[in-house]
Structure 1
Amino acid sequence: MSIKTFQDLIKEVHEKGICQECGGCTSFCSAAFEEVIGFKKPNSPPEYINKDACLECGICYYLCPQTHILDDELNKTYKFTDFKSIPLGHFEGIFSCQSTDPDFLKYGTDGGVVNSIINYMI
Structure 2
Amino acid sequence: MFFRFLASQCAGCPLWGQCRDPEASPKGHRNVYISDYHRYLQAGSAFNQTPTGRALLAGRWQVEPTIAFLVRYQGCRRARRVGQAAAQCQLFQACALRNLLLWLSRVRRGLAPRPPT
Q: In which range does the TM-score fall when normalised by the shorter chain?
A: under 0.3
The structure richer in helix per residue is 2
Q: Which has the higher contact order (CA 8 A, sep 6+)?
A: 1
